[in-house]
Amino acid sequence: MNNIHTERIFQALDGLDIELPSWGFADTGTRFGKFHQDAAAIDIYDKIKDAATVHRLTGACSTMAVHVLWDFNEEQTPATVTRAATSESIRIGSINPNLFQDQVYKLGSFGNPDTGIQNQALQHCLDSIDIATQCDSPIITLWFADGTNYPGQDDIRRRKRVFEQHLQRCHESLSEDQTLLIEYKPFEPAFYHTDIADWGMSLQLAQKTGSQAKVLVDTGHHYASQNIEQIVAWLLDEGRLGGFHFNDRRYADDDLTLGSIDPYQVFRIFAEIHGYAHDTGSAPEIAYMVDQSHNLKPKIQAMIQTVTWAQELYAKAALVDFNKLRQYQSTGDIIEAEQCLQRAFMTDVTGAIKDWRNQHKLPENPLQSYRESGHEQTIAKERKERRAQLGLSSASSYA
Ligand code: PSV
Ligand code: MN
């Protein structure tokens, strides 16, 4: 690897910070059940510690996303939670309102036919913006489970209009440095229509909402074979790509580890971003976040695996020779243009990444280092005992 390549990789890794989700460290399952893990986080303080562990080993995860309903309560106030994060040398990142769990949301939140319920949802969003301010967090992420299950169930145009109205109201409450991210999802839990089903709907809503509203691309929220990098390219060009929720999928919203199914697609997404920076001379401001809840894999290890693969694929994408690529594109040289991408994708960047880690006093192999540290066993023992004291179910209560 030549010096220019190493320099590009170092620069890319220095600029890549990946937010971890608090919910990815807790015991979660599918609608069929949960497989408990003794080492899973019990409360927000465990989640903060786990995110900080990943950050210490990878040097790339300085913030943790929180879910308002799951992570805050009367004792766990924004101030307390922020202090706990600071004491572990991380920060609270994006704030995720919960607009799907309360019984009142059976027919939707913003889209609900009942204006009283719409207002309850709106108030929860406004409270979440306030929490973001208290946590000094610049991002509020909105994911709506809203939609219908049957044709005719509700008026799709009415629902669209109330979304526009309530999102505008949220935007009015943002401070100057805050961004509202609007996530889309084509199905689940609603199966006939979801109110924000794709990137075009998110974009249209963001444009109507205001300049601080942007689109959140959750990589798992697409139909099979959809060209996600094209969506990324369009959103970049419109100045509305706000962030990502990283995960991989085979069928639906599978929450598989990023790159486990199609690493070349992740590379192509990153290549669009590096290409944009190359062509415009400025790196876009994008919030990179993980949205994975692992039911089977040990959670901290799955996060380290995700982050290190994201780093590797991001580094590879930084090696695309965009000067040559644009030249090949302009002359219609399809073979060489494609080779530009493939050659970068196939380049072994592991040596340069190790050098980068050494430079930052990080373990050369964060996953191995974690597995050998004994940390997993220590927290499993401590949390198992704490669960027993609290009368909570655990892996061993089923043994
Ligand atoms: C549900 O699909 C989901 O995974 C969305 O992607 C949200 O971002 C996440 O839950 C947290 O609310
Ligand atoms: Mn998501």
What pLDDT does 120 receive? 98
Q: What is the residue range of 77's domain? A: 3-397
pLDDT at 77 over 80: yes
Reported pTM? 0.97
Q: Which pLDDT tens digit goes with each residue over 192-246? A: 999 999 999 999 999 999 999 999 999 999 999 999 999 999 999 999 999 999 9
Tokens standing for 18? Answer: 């990946």
CA distance 385 to 390: 9
What percent of the chain is predicted at pLDDT more than 70?
99
Examine the pLDDT at 398 and tell me if it is beyond 60. no
Q: What is the DSSP letter of 397?
A: G
| Tens digits of residue pLDDT in 138-155 | 999 999 999 999 999 999
The pLDDT score that the predictor gives to residue 397 is 59
Ligand 1 pocket member 185 (CB < 6 A): yes
Ligand 1 atom with the smallest distance to the CA of 100 is 12
Assess contact for 76 and 46: CB atoms under 8 A: no
pLDDT, mean over the chain: 97
The preferred substitution site among 142, 218, 290, 293 for testing ligand 1, maximizing ligand atoms within 8 Å of CB, is: 218
- The helix or strand, by DSSP H or E, that contains position 337, with its residue range, turns out to be helix 334-346
> Mutate which of 288, 291, 295 to test ligand 1's pocket (most atoms within 8 Å of Cβ)?
291
CATH number of the domain within which 341 lies: 3.20.20.150
Instruction: Enumerate residues 6+ apart whose C-beta is below 8 A from 112.
Output: 104, 105, 118, 121, 146
Residue 55 near residue 325 (C-beta atoms within 8 A): no
* Tens digits of residue pLDDT in 331-342: 999 999 999 999
Cβ proximity of 62 and 90 under 8 Å: yes
Residues in the chain: 399
CA dihedral of residues 157, 161, 166, 169 (deg, nearest 10): 170
Spacing, Cα 269 to ligand 1 middle (Å): 20
Question: Which DSSP state fits 223?
Answer: -
pLDDT band, very low/low/confident/very high, at 70 (cuts 50, 70, 90): very high
* Helix extents (H) in 25-114: 44-58, 68-71, 78-87
Amino acid at 124: H
What domain count does the chain have?
Answer: 1
Give the pLDDT band (50/70/90) at residue 396: low
pLDDT exceeds cutoff 60 at 399? no
pLDDT digits (tens, 9 = 90+) for 361-387: 999 999 999 999 999 999 999 999 999
pLDDT in tens, 23-67: 999 998 888 999 999 999 999 999 999 999 999 999 999 999 999
H or E element at residue 139: strand 139-142
Largest alpha-carbon pair distance within the chain?
70
Q: How far apart are CA 320 and CA 312, in angstroms?
A: 14
